[in-house]
């Protein structure tokens, strides 16, 4: 292990980048996650997720990065027979505390999945879905929300004339931006993206990366990606996971130029994974 202890950090945590504000948007404290049978998907992960930046989670498959992502908005509640230890804080409050409504957490911490899944309804109704669940009925307000969400996801120009068309008719890349717009329309504080560009062509990928660069002005973004180059292009910070452990977390530039841990170096230079 080549970690240098940093004064004042949480015991056992991997040192985060210096110079970032003292109150992170989310904080993961000694978090472990066990699948049925006791197999650990995550072991003692501690990680600060800074406001208004893009945190890239990288690592080979089964490294636990997606499990962490799903724990951040309690989608992991649906994985039956699993068990967790440690805490995850959102603005300093434990998201697993008794009395916390998981649907409330999911509205504040939105999620985009690896394959675009449009609901079988119109483009407009896809974007408006989350707001409708909240009880919003005002057509004008919904229209304004839909427009601004589509603009933020850089999809507005392509679909503004066919909002009532089925979302299933969009191309794969458009569908994924639709899914991003659908999450934005919830007006969340954090947006989690689970390999949003897997299976997309380079141009679609580029559009999504452009959208992300603008979105971080408004949201805190956590991006899981299997594409190390993508992580290097869009992330401000990067956390590298291996076999359920957080190996290294730092500024993207530092991770990709002078990683502190040899395993990080091996992974980003393509020696495994």
Partner 1 sequence: MKHLVRPDVSQRVIKVLLILLTALTLSILIFIITYLLLKGLPVFSPGFFTGHAIDMGRAGGILPFILSTVFLSVVALAIATPLGVGTAIYLTEYTRESRLTRVIRFAAECLAGVPSIILGLFGFVTFVLYLKLGWSVLSGGLTLAIMVLPTIIRTSEEAILAVPHAQREVSFSLGGTRWQTVIRVVLPGALPGIVTGVMLSLGRCIGETAAVIFTAGSSLMTPASLLDSGRTLAVHFYILAREGISAEMAYGTAAVLMISILAINVAAYGLMHRIVRRFS
Hey, what are 143's tokens?
């229209």
Which distant-in-sequence residues (6+ apart) come within 8 Å of 216 by Cβ? Answer: 52, 53, 54, 236
Q: Which is nearer to partner 1, 78 or 272 (CB)?
A: 78
- Give me the residues paired with residue 191 across strands: 110, 221
Q: Which is nearer to partner 1, 105 or 268 (CB)?
A: 105
Number of residues that make up the chain = 273
Interface ranges with partner 1 (CB under 8 A): 73, 75, 78, 80, 103-104, 106-107, 110-111, 113, 115, 117, 119-120, 129-130, 133-134, 179, 182-183, 186
Q: Which is nearer to partner 1, 152 or 186 (CB)?
A: 186
CB of 84 to partner 1, least distance (A): 18
CB of 106 to partner 1, least distance (A): 5
Nearest CA-CA partner of 177 in 157, 204, 138, 201: 204
Q: Which is nearer to partner 1, 90 or 232 (CB)?
A: 90
CB of 179 to partner 1, least distance (A): 8
CB of 176 to partner 1, least distance (A): 12
Query: With helix as H, strand as E and coil as C, how does 173-196 read?
Result: HHHHHHHHHHHHCCCCCEEEEECC
Q: Which is nearer to partner 1, 183 or 230 (CB)?
A: 183
Nearest CA-CA partner of 246 in 58, 89, 45, 26: 45
CB of 105 to partner 1, least distance (A): 9
Query: Does residue 89 contact residue 26 with C-beta atoms inside 8 Å?
Result: yes
């Amino acid at each position: 292990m080549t970690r240098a202890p940093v004064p004042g950090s949480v015991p056992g945590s991997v040192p985060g980048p210096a110079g970032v504000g003292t109150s992170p948007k989310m904080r993961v404290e000694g978090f472990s996650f066990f699948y049925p049978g006791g197999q650990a998907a995550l072991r003692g992960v501690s990680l600060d997720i800074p406001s208004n930046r893009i945190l890239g989670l990288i690592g080979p498959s089964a490294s636990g990065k997606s499990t962490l992502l799903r724990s951040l908005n309690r989608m992991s509640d649906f994985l039956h027979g699993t068990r967790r230890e440690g805490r995850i804080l959102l603005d300093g409050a434990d998201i697993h505390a008794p009395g916390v409504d998981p649907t409330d957490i999911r509205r504040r911490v939105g999620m985009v999945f690896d394959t675009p899944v449009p609901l079988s309804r119109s483009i407009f109704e896809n974007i408006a879905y989350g707001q409708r669940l909240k009880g919003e009925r005002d057509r004008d307000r919904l229209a304004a929300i839909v427009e601004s969400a589509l603009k933020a996801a850089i999809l507005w120009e392509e679909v503004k004339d066919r909002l009532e068309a089925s979302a299933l008719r969009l191309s794969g890349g458009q569908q994924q931006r639709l899914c991003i717009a659908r999450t934005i329309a919830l007006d969340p504080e954090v947006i989690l993206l689970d390999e949003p560009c897997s299976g997309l062509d380079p141009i679609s990928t580029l559009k999504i990366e452009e959208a992300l660069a603008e979105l971080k002005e408004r949201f805190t973004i956590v991006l899981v990606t299997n594409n190390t180059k993508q992580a290097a292009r869009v992330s401000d910070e990067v956390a590298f996971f291996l076999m359920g452990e957080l190996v290294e977390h730092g500024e993207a530039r530092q991770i990709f130029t002078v990683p502190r841990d040899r395993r990080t170096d091996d992974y980003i230079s393509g020696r495994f994974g």
